[in-house]
Chain A
Amino acid sequence: MNKPDSKTHHGTALPAGTPAPDFSLHSTPDQSVKLSEFRGQPVVLAFYPADWSPVCGDQMALYNEMLSEFQEYGAELLGISVDGAWCHAAFARDRKLHFPLLSDFEPKAEVAKLYGVHRQSEGVCERALFVIDAEGIIRWSYVSPVGVNPGAAGILAALEDLQNKSESK
């Protein structure tokens, strides 16, 4: 349960309409994931500050329960934090997460900086969401107060909107 926080701050998160910067990050100690590999399907990027902190746990746990919903839109979910690949592996195993957690570890927070969601003071990612369309364009972005689990309502609304637009083409 999270307390509300009226101080939503947008920072410099890349807005809708911007091409999503490509990146390649480790998803496990010996595997990498490249964003452009998912061209042709929507991608949900969920930046979060850290593995193991209670709120992240809730947020990632919630998304973990929703993978079938995301799949209905053909969307791939990727979690991103500055934690190392071994840390992600332990966290994913502990929480039984069934989606990739990417490690923005070296150079630290480089991808978060590209997306404008780096918290300089703490050296971690913001709690930020991006929905990227099949052509690699950001269609929705949202930065949550760092202590607040943003849930998934916004992601689903954005994915639905994408689907409606592609159907009306």
Chain B
Amino acid sequence: MKPETSIAIPKANLTLPLAGRDHIQGPIDAPVSLVEYGDYQCQYCGAAYPIIKAVQKELGKKLCFAFRNFPLSNMHPYAEHAAEAAEGAAAQGRFWEMHDILFDNQESLDDESLAELAATVGLDAPRLMSEVLAGAHRERVREDFRSGVRGGVNGTPTLFINGVRFDAVPTAEALLEALTERGS
């Protein structure tokens, strides 16, 4: 590391490109991609959730949205298991159903609630919870977390549009404008 670069701003670009490992909605080769690093127990992620839904509806197939885990588990005691439960749902082919119901029920994310939510969306809840308790998806969540830290995620939610961190407050208007601009 050269001294002259020692005070440079750390780069805020997606270090792990959007790929087959990701949970995505929309075509992976869509003109614009939105990647969220989020925490199911974070109220700001909860606030961003309907906004992202609205933006997805507006842009349709022009947008590819991906969600990656960034649980701040000391601050949010239920965030880690919630993230692992969503990954467990992915293993049963229902990531997005679980993702949505977790954000719809942010106030009750203890293990018992996770099992109920899993059952509600038609998952094999006993299997899912035994995987969560055995830590079967912990490494995957950690991998997301690490990639986020490297890419300049400094809190949740952090959004990347076409790989570049979006730093404004994510209102529907601001987000739609940025996505439209970068997607054209």
Contacts and interface: CB of A to CB of B under 8 A. Distances in A.
Contacts of B154: 2, 58-59, 62, 149-152
Contacts of A97: 74
B40 interface: no
A151 B7 contact: no
Interface in B2-34: 3, 6-12
A154 B153 CA distance: 11
A64 B149 contact: no
Interface string B155-184: 101100000000111100000000000000
Given A8-B9, A61-B75, A150-B10, 19 more contacts: A1-B155, A3-B168, A15-B6, A16-B1, A61-B72, A62-B155, A65-B71, A65-B74, A69-B146, A69-B149, A96-B74, A96-B75, A140-B6, A149-B154, A151-B10, A151-B12, A151-B149, A156-B149, A161-B1
B108 to A, nearest CB: 21
B152 interface: yes
Contacts of B155: 1-2, 58, 62, 149
Nearest to B1: A161
B151 A153 contact: yes
Contacts of B151: 153
A66 interface: yes
A41 B26 CA distance: 47
Contacts of A154: 10
A64 B74 CA distance: 8
A34 interface: no
B6 A16 contact: yes
Interface centre among B8, B11, B149, B151 (most CB of A within 10 A): B149
Contacts of B158: 1
Contact of A141 (B7, B150, B167): B7
Contact of B152 (A61, A142, A153): A153
Given A61-B75, A97-B74, A13 B146 contact: no
Contacts of B149: 62, 66, 69, 151-153, 156
A63 B150 CA distance: 13
A152 B106 CA distance: 27
A119 interface: no
B156 to A, nearest CB: 8
Contacts of B169: 1, 3
Contact of A140 (B1, B12, B153, B170): B1
Nearest to A59: B154
Contacts of B152: 151, 153
B73 interface: yes
A98 B6 contact: no
B28 to A, nearest CB: 25
B72 A8 contact: no
